[in-house]
Amino acid sequence: MKKALITGVSGQDGSYLAEYLLDLGYEVWGLVRREPETSRWLAATAHRIEFVYGDLRDEESLAVAFQKAWPDEVYNLAAQVFVPTSWECPAETFDINVGGFARLLRIVERQKPDTRVYQASTSEMFGNVEANCNEETPFNPMSPYGTSKMAAHRLAAVYRNRGIYVLGGILFNHESPRRGPEMVTRKITRAAARWVMGDRVKLKLGNLQSRRDWGFAGDYVKAMHAMLQPDTPNDYVIGTGISHSVEDFLQQVLTELRKICGSSDVPRSIEDWVEVDTQFLRTGEIHNLQADSSAARNDLGWQPSVDFAHLVKMMVEADLASLREVLGAKTAG
């Protein structure tokens, strides 16, 4: 039975990846900073995962976790992931996103150099590019977050040259009902659910014309696993190839809400619901990101199974259901 160690197992991608690897028959070890029961997303699988406590900033805890798991594959998904926080705390972002990965690689090289390592790289490394980005597109990150991920991605290449099986999956934005609530898509679907339940507060957002290539996280964790299977490690770009604006996302949310709730409880228009707030307009903002995943499609046979409309539907339904559950519990209490 293959063994995998996942850092960031309590997050969106970590929880989907754990489920996927368990289904494939893996023994799954998850690095956590606190009680796994505090992550809603692990509730269904926690009893099947071996948890080890650790922090990417603490090499000793990583070494102990690694020794306990003794993995065939490591998926380094833990990170400080939020771009605005990376401007507030750039040094901490680097310590976690670059230092943490450097600590892990040193442990792998010293303890078990045949371990295969996946690094969670990101489209934020590209910055503003007019064309669809592939593995050859030059990096031009626009934030401390993007820069930290680029440094870690380069570090992976350096260790690969030294013989370690390590690669960076350059993933474009991927969402799900498990997406962090601070991220724009989830901020929108949560606000939509609150509106329908009677909380008619305007939603404040930044640039509505910002475009991203949004896919479903459950599809993307399959690509992570597929990347670690070939004999030779290679970086791959993963995305749907289609971008949508924040305004498109809002419009799709309204469409889905009308189907679910009828028109009366739903905002009449984006203008009635959303207010552009200059505090969310960012310097160095990336206006458009779109993937060219032909290499992953050709080499790994990977392709997304969930389109934009289905993704939005899934997120709206989940946030409505969870808010109804909370309000129901309050009423019952």
Q: Which is nearer to ligand NAP, 20 or 258 (CB)?
A: 20
168 three-class SS? strand
* Nearer Cβ to ligand NAP (85/251): 85
93, 122, 137, 185: the active-site residue:
122
For residues 212 and 227, what is the distance between their CA atoms, to the nearest angstrom? 23
Element spanning 74, H or E: strand 73-76
Using rule CB under 6 A, residue 81 touches ligand NAP? yes
Q: According to the 3-state scheme, what is the secondary structure of 128-153?
A: CCCCCECCCCCCCCCCHHHHHHHHHH
The residue number whose beta carbon is nearest to ligand NAP equals 11
User: E-strand spans in 77-199?
Assistant: 116-122, 165-171, 174-175
Q: What is the dihedral of CA 203, 207, 209, 210, to 10 degrees?
A: -110
- Strand pairing of 50-53 and 27-32? parallel
Alpha-carbon distance of 81 to 146, in angstroms, equals 9
- The answer to whether the beta carbons of residues 293 and 302 sit under 8 Å apart is yes
96 binds ligand NAP (CB under 6 A): yes
Q: Is 286 in the site for ligand NAP (CB under 6 A)?
A: no
Catalytic-residue membership of 145: yes
**Minimal distance in Å, beta carbon 301 to ligand NAP?**
21
- Spatial distance between the Cα atoms of 176 and 189, rounded to a whole number of angstroms: 10
99 binds ligand NAP (CB under 6 A): no
* Contact range with ligand NAP by CB under 6 A, out of 11-19, 131-139, 290-298, 315-323: 11-19
Per-residue exposure over 230-260, b if at least 16 CB sit within 10 Å of its own CB, e if not: eeebebbbbbbbebbbbbbbbebbbebbeee
Task: Mark residues 40-79: x for contact with ligand NAP by CB under 6 A, - for none.
Answer: ---------------xxx-------------------xxx
Pick between residue 7 and residue 210 the one whose CB is nearest to ligand NAP: 7
Element (DSSP H or E) covering residue 238? strand 236-238
Which residues 6+ apart lie within 8 Å of 58 measured at CB?
A: none
**Active-site choice (16, 26, 118, 145):** 145
- Of 46, 66, 80, 290, the one binding ligand NAP by CB under 6 A: 80
Instruction: Considering only the stretches 172-180, 266-274, 281-289, 322-330, report the one whose residues sit in contact with ligand NAP under the rule CB under 6 A.
Output: 172-180
Q: Is 180 in the site for ligand NAP (CB under 6 A)?
A: yes
- Candidates 143, 148, 173, 252: give the one binding ligand NAP (CB under 6 A): 173
Angle at 178 between CA 142 and CA 254, to 5 degrees: 85
Q: Which is nearer to ligand NAP, 99 or 267 (CB)?
A: 99
- Taking CB under 6 A as the criterion, the residue among 122, 137, 189, 243 binding ligand NAP is 122
How many residues sit close enough to ligand NAP to count as binding (CB under 6 A)? Answer: 24
Residue with smaller CB distance to ligand NAP, 184 or 254: 184
Q: Which part of the chain contacts ligand NAP (CB under 6 A), choosing from 3-11, 135-143, 196-204, 225-233?
A: 3-11
Half-sphere exposure of 306 (CA within 13 A, CB side): 19
Residues engaged in binding ligand NAP (CB under 6 A): 7-8, 10-14, 33-34, 55-57, 77-81, 96, 120, 122, 171, 173-174, 180
Q: What residues act catalytically?
A: 122, 124, 145
